[in-house]
Structure 1
Amino acid sequence: MRILMLTNSYVDRTRGGVELHVHNLAKELVAAGHEVTVGRTSPGQSLLPVEGPELWVIDPDAAATEGRSRSRRSTGGGRFLSNFLARVRIGRRIGRVLADADLEQRFDVVHHHDFITSSVIARRLAQTGLRQVWTNHLGEFLILRRIPVAGRWITRWLTAHFDAATGPSPELAEQAAVRCPIRYVPNGVDVETFRPADPEERRQLRRGLGIAEHETVCIVPRRWAPSKGVLYAARAMSSHAWPAGVSMLFVGAGESDFPEYAAEIRTSLARARSHVSVVDSVDALGMAEHLRASDICLIPSLLEATSLSALESMASGLPIVATDVGGLPELVSDATGLLVPPRADDELAVAVATLAARTDTERRDMGVRARAFAVDSYAWSSIARRISAMYEDSSA
Structure 2
Amino acid sequence: MRVAVITVHGCPVRQAGSKDSGGMNIYILEMVKRMAARGIQVDVFTRHHDPLDPEVVTLSPGARLIHLPSGSPSIDKTGLYDLLPEFSSQMRRFCVDNRLGYEIVNTHYWLSGLVGIRLASEWGVPHITSFHTMAVLKQLSRPEEKEVPQRYSSEIELASAADSIVVWTQNEKDSIVKYTGINGSKIRIIPPGVDLGRFRPMSKVQSRAHLGYGSQKNILFVGRLEPLKGLDRLFKAIASLKNSSPVILNVVGGDDNSLEKTRLKAISEQMNITKSVRFVGSVSQNDLPYHYSAADICVLPSYYESFGLAALEASACGRPVVASDVGGLPTIVSNGISGFLVPPNRIDLMAEKLRDLLENDLLRHRMGVAARRSSESFSWDRSADSLLESYRDLVPKPKLSASSVAGG
Task: Give the TM bin, normalised by the shorter chain.
Answer: 0.7 to 0.9
Structure 1 stretch 265-274 or stretch 296-305: which is displaced more? 265-274
Q: Could you say if the C-alpha distance between residues 171 and 311 of structure 1 is closer, same or farther in structure 2, counting changes exceeding 3 Å?
A: same
Do residues 343 (structure 1) and 345 (structure 2) align?
yes
Residue of structure 1 in register with 2:192 after alignment: 187
Paired letter, 1:392: R
Residue of structure 2 in register with 1:209 after alignment: 211
Measure, in 2, the Cα distance between the counterparts of 1:26 and 1:384.
8
Is the contact made by 2:49 and 2:73 (CA closer than 8 Å) also made in structure 1?
A: no
Measure, in 2, the Cα distance between the counterparts of 1:292 and 1:269.
25
Do residues 131 (structure 1) and 126 (structure 2) align?
yes
Pairwise CA distance, 1:188: 2.2
Q: Could you say if the C-alpha distance between residues 18 and 347 of structure 1 is closer, same or farther in structure 2, counting changes exceeding 3 Å?
A: same
Mapping for residues 206-285 of structure 1, pairs under 5 Å = 206-213=208-215, 215-239=216-240, 243-254=244-255, 259=259, 261-270=260-269, 271-272=272-273, 275-285=276-286
Measure, in 2, the Cα distance between the counterparts of 1:151 and 1:252.
26
Pairwise CA distance, 1:391: 0.8
Residue of structure 2 in register with 1:62 after alignment: 71
Q: Which runs of 5+ in 1 are unaligned?
A: 69-82
Measure, in 1, the Cα distance between the counterparts of 2:244 and 2:30.
37
Residue of structure 1 in register with 2:2 after alignment: 2
Task: Report how many residues are paired.
Answer: 368
Secondary structure of 1:350's aligned partner:
helix
Pairwise CA distance, 1:40: 1.6
Q: Could you say if the C-alpha distance between residues 121 and 154 of structure 1 is closer, same or farther in structure 2, counting changes exceeding 3 Å?
A: closer
Measure, in 1, the Cα distance between the counterparts of 2:308 and 2:257.
18
Measure, in 1, the Cα distance between the counterparts of 2:227 and 2:274.
23
Pairwise CA distance, 1:39: 1.4
Q: Could you say if the C-alpha distance between residues 121 and 5 of structure 1 is closer, same or farther in structure 2, counting changes exceeding 3 Å?
A: closer
Paired letter, 2:47: T
Do residues 99 (structure 1) and 92 (structure 2) align?
yes
**TM-score (norm: length of structure 1):** 0.83
Is the contact made by 2:105 and 2:116 (CA closer than 8 Å) also made in structure 1?
A: no
Do residues 28 (structure 1) and 27 (structure 2) align?
no
Pairwise CA distance, 1:240: 5.0
Pairwise CA distance, 1:291: 0.7
How well do the aligned residues superpose, as a CA RMSD in angstroms? Answer: 3.1
Measure, in 1, the Cα distance between the counterparts of 2:231 and 2:139.
23
Mapping for residues 342-361 of structure 1, pairs under 5 Å = 342-359=344-361, 361=362
Residue of structure 1 in register with 2:146 after alignment: none
Pairwise CA distance, 1:187: 2.7
Measure, in 1, the Cα distance between the counterparts of 2:155 and 2:14.
29
Measure, in 2, the Cα distance between the counterparts of 1:151 and 1:225.
19
Q: Which runs of 5+ in 2 are unaligned?
A: 17-21, 144-149, 397-408
Measure, in 1, the Cα distance between the counterparts of 2:243 and 2:37.
46
Structure 1 stretch 168-177 or stretch 302-311: which is displaced more? 168-177
Q: Could you say if the C-alpha distance between residues 29 and 335 of structure 1 is closer, same or farther in structure 2, counting changes exceeding 3 Å?
A: same
Is the contact made by 1:224 and 1:256 (CA closer than 8 Å) also made in structure 2?
A: no
Pairwise CA distance, 1:308: 0.6
| Greater radius of gyration (CA) | 2
Do residues 165 (structure 1) and 165 (structure 2) align?
yes
Q: Deviations over 1:349-376 (max 9, x none)?
A: 11110111222x4322211211121121
Q: Deviations over 1:198-256 (max 9, x none)?
A: x3xx322211322224x322101121101111111122111257743322111113278
Q: Could you say if the C-alpha distance between residues 205 and 50 of structure 1 is closer, same or farther in structure 2, counting changes exceeding 3 Å?
A: farther
Q: Could you say if the C-alpha distance between residues 118 and 64 of structure 1 is closer, same or farther in structure 2, counting changes exceeding 3 Å?
A: farther
Is the contact made by 1:314 and 1:370 (CA closer than 8 Å) also made in structure 2?
A: yes
Residue of structure 2 in register with 1:77 after alignment: none
Identity of aligned residues (%): 24
Paired letter, 1:205: S
Measure, in 2, the Cα distance between the counterparts of 1:354 and 1:46.
48
Measure, in 1, the Cα distance between the counterparts of 2:236 and 2:225.
14
Secondary structure of 1:183's aligned partner:
strand
Is the contact made by 2:53 and 2:67 (CA closer than 8 Å) also made in structure 1?
A: no
Q: Could you say if the C-alpha distance between residues 87 and 281 of structure 1 is closer, same or farther in structure 2, counting changes exceeding 3 Å?
A: same
Structure 1 stretch 329-338 or stretch 164-173: which is displaced more? 164-173
Equivalent residue for 2:45, pick from 32, 39, 42: 39
Measure, in 2, the Cα distance between the counterparts of 1:273 and 1:152.
38
Pairwise CA distance, 1:178: 5.9
Is the contact made by 1:168 and 1:185 (CA closer than 8 Å) also made in structure 2?
A: yes
Measure, in 2, the Cα distance between the counterparts of 1:220 and 1:395.
41
Q: Could you say if the C-alpha distance between residues 242 and 89 of structure 1 is closer, same or farther in structure 2, counting changes exceeding 3 Å?
A: farther
